[in-house]
């Protein structure tokens, strides 16, 4: 099975993704070096599992600060193409975030449901700020607005058109995550 054969078109190439991640990491490094954000503790970077794992790995290796890394899982898709609108946390935090700056790393922000669940949860756990860094933002699908915490910032890799996309961590039925680019999945494969 050649995964590339299932892709209608490539939206963001491996090179474009790498370049944008370098820019985001530089921005994060600058922001968290700022005397207003700096504190005695390192920022805690949480990958929203499983889709963000590639993005998270590449991003944290380019951030020029000490960071703590962990994962959290909030599931809302299952094996379909539409969010069920009611995410549930199925993998909790290992790291104590009381009084710490948190950066949530997402593969894609579309409906906003996952972030509207996770951000208040992290605030409740004592985070002093919650930022979001997403590879893709799909505002055409937004159903729920979310509010960052403290001096939290929103970092976005690319705005994504309203297509069903896979690759670079994003999946359909747990497949295609290992593609090195983000591409549009052929509709006949999921309709």
Q: Any residues with CB less than 8 A from the CB of 22 and at least 6 apart, and which?
A: 62
Beta bridge partners of 59: none
Beta bridge partners of 149: 130
The yes-or-no answer on residue 107 being catalytic is no
**How many Cα atoms sit within 13 Å of 158 on the Cβ side?**
20
**How many Cα atoms sit within 13 Å of 59 on the Cβ side?**
31
The one catalytic residue among 110, 137, 162, 171:
110
User: What strand order describes the sheet that includes 182-185?
Assistant: 7-12, 182-185, 165-166
Catalytic residues: 110
């Amino acid at each position: 099975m050649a995964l590339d054969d299932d892709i209608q078109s490539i939206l963001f190439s491996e090179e474009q993704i790498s370049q944008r991640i370098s820019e985001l990491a530089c921005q994060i490094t600058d922001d968290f070096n700022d005397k207003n954000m700096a504190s005695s503790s390192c920022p805690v970077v949480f990958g929203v599992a499983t889709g963000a794992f590639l993005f998270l790995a590449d991003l944290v290796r380019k951030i020029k600060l000490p960071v703590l890394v962990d994962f959290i899982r909030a599931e809302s898709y299952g094996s379909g193409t539409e969010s069920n609108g009611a995410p549930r946390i199925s993998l909790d935090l290992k790291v104590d975030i009381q009084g710490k700056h948190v950066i949530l790393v997402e593969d894609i922000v579309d409906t906003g449901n996952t972030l509207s669940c996770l951000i208040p949860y992290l605030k409740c756990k004592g985070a002093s700020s919650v930022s979001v860094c997403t590879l893709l933002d799909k505002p055409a699908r937004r159903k729920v607005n979310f509010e960052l915490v403290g001096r939290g910032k929103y970092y976005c890799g690319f705005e994504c058109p309203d297509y069903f996309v896979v690759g670079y961590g994003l999946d359909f039925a747990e497949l295609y995550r290992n593609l090195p680019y983000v591409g549009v999945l052929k509709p006949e494969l999921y309709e």
